[in-house]
Amino acid sequence: MDRSQKEAVVAELNGVFNEAAVVVVAEYSGLTVAEMTDLRVKMLDAGASFKVTKNRLARLALDGTDYGSLSEKLKGPVGIAYSNDPVAAPKVVTDYAKGNEKLIVVGGAMGATELDPDGVKSLASLPSLDELRGKLVGLLQAPATKIAGVMQAPAGQLARVLAAKAEQG
């Protein structure tokens, strides 16, 4: 890789770190190509990405971003998972690490807040942004649905009473 290619990689990673809501660092030593491809497919399905780069280039890209504290975690064969949804990347990496001992969560960061492996796991246990939006819409619609049900109940009862009287008389 020549100097211009390295500069392009650093610039690309810097853009990723400036836009990402969360970054997770995971050690992938021993993963096969098929397992790595499976992980990347799961990440893409969740709206996240997993990237393996040279640690030195990643450290250079971290300079000047909120994720600068992660540079000390970039040792050995590590990959970087990131997403704009603060829960997507941690959730996929943590779930994949449960099923495959070769992937080990080293740590991460959410903005300027550094996360240890337990912090990443607790972040992964939170519902995703889409799930929270769905719950919020459900909560907003629930009162209207209940009011409509209450308003229809007296009319339904009146209709049943009239029907019963008609059958008797």
Residues facing 109 on adjacent strands: 23, 114
pLDDT of residue 155: 72
pLDDT of residue 1: 77
pLDDT of residue 150: 67
CB neighbours of residue 2 within 10 Å: 6
**Chain centroid offset of residue 27 CA:** 19
pLDDT of residue 134: 86
Phi, psi of 65 (to 5 degrees): -110, 170
Phi, psi of 86 (to 5 degrees): -65, -10
CB neighbours of residue 74 within 10 Å: 18
Instruction: Indicate the helix (H) or strand (E) that contains 104.
Output: strand 104-110
Residue whose C-alpha is closest to residue 91's, from 39, 13, 31: 39
pLDDT of residue 25: 93
d(CA 23, CA 107): 9
d(CA 7, CA 158): 78
Residues facing 115 on adjacent strands: 108
Q: Does domain 3-126 have CATH number 3.30.70.1730?
A: yes
Compute the Cα dihedral for 50, 113, 56, 7 and give only its sign. Answer: positive
Instruction: Kindly list the domain boundaries of the chain, sorted by start residue.
Output: 3-126, 128-169
Per-residue pLDDT of 36-53, as tens digits, reads 999 999 999 989 999 998
**Residue ranges of the chain with per-residue pLDDT less than 70:** 150
d(CA 50, CA 73): 16
